[in-house]
Amino acid sequence: EVQLVESGGGLVQPGRSLKLSCAASGFTFSNYYMAWVRQAPKKGLEWVATISTSGSRTYYPDSVKGRFTISRDNAKSSLYLQMNSLKSEDTATYYCARHTTHWGQGVMVTVSS
Amino acid sequence: DIQMTQSPSFLSASVGDRVTINCKASQNINRYLNWYQQKLGEAPKLLIYNANSLQTGIPSRFSGSGSGTDFTLTISSLQPEDVATYFCLQHNSWFTFGSGTKLEIK
């Protein structure tokens, strides 16, 4: 069974950094593109980052480009999202996803002073 | 950017009813459209991929149709356990979600 478990969320001040982690199990992690998706409170879903199987290619929308970095460690079956220069509009539940097919339960990130 | 317009935003129906939810893309996305179900407090679950392919383990009362710009998710006979929010995702060009449909039982 595919399992994706996010961690690292919490309350952070604007302008600070936070790193999310996702532990994957139940599938061969290195064979799949992975992603992070977020949902702001009472708002829609937004795809925020994708990473290729080897990690050599990454993709971001303009809203987070230059501030967020997705990475992976295939030896540890782990996915990461480094979030820098955080803004209040980054407040959301962040989901780790095995591309478009499987999602984790999500972790809450609150950016507030 | 491709925009996805999902309707209705809220739906109330009786057990056994046929229910349809729609997503319209702002441009042609071929069949690159998925449907998901999200129950309260749970991770989103993939129901339908590439417009009309049923994900493994999903009941056959769920089906998807459409191509190009207009897509439909159909629940042929609504069950109490189908209470959830449903949303679409286009993955033809980057990724864009519909705004979601909250489904309740009358």
User: Which of A27, A38, A45, A63 has the highest number of chain B CBs within 10 A, making it the mutation to test binding with B?
Assistant: A45
For residue B49, which residues of chain A lie inside 8 Å, CB to CB? Answer: 100-101
User: Which of B5, B90, B95 has the highest number of chain A CBs within 10 A, making it the mutation to test binding with A?
Assistant: B95
pLDDT at position A10 is: 97
Q: What is the pLDDT of residues A78-108, one digit of tens each?
A: 999 999 999 999 999 999 999 999 999 999 9
**Hey, are the CB atoms on A47 and B34 less than 8 Å from each other?**
no
A53-88 in b/e burial notation, b at 16+ Cβ within 10 A?
A: eeeeeebbbeebeeebbbebeeeebbbbbebeebee
The answer to whether B99 faces chain A, any CB pair under 8 Å, is yes
The answer to whether A102 faces chain B, any CB pair under 8 Å, is yes
Tens digit of pLDDT per residue, chain B (106 long)? 999 999 999 999 999 999 999 999 999 999 999 999 999 888 899 999 999 999 999 999 999 999 999 999 999 999 999 999 999 999 999 999 999 999 999 9
Scanning the structure block, which residue is given the tokens 């209705």?
A: B8
Q: Which residues of chain A have pLDDT under 50?
A: none
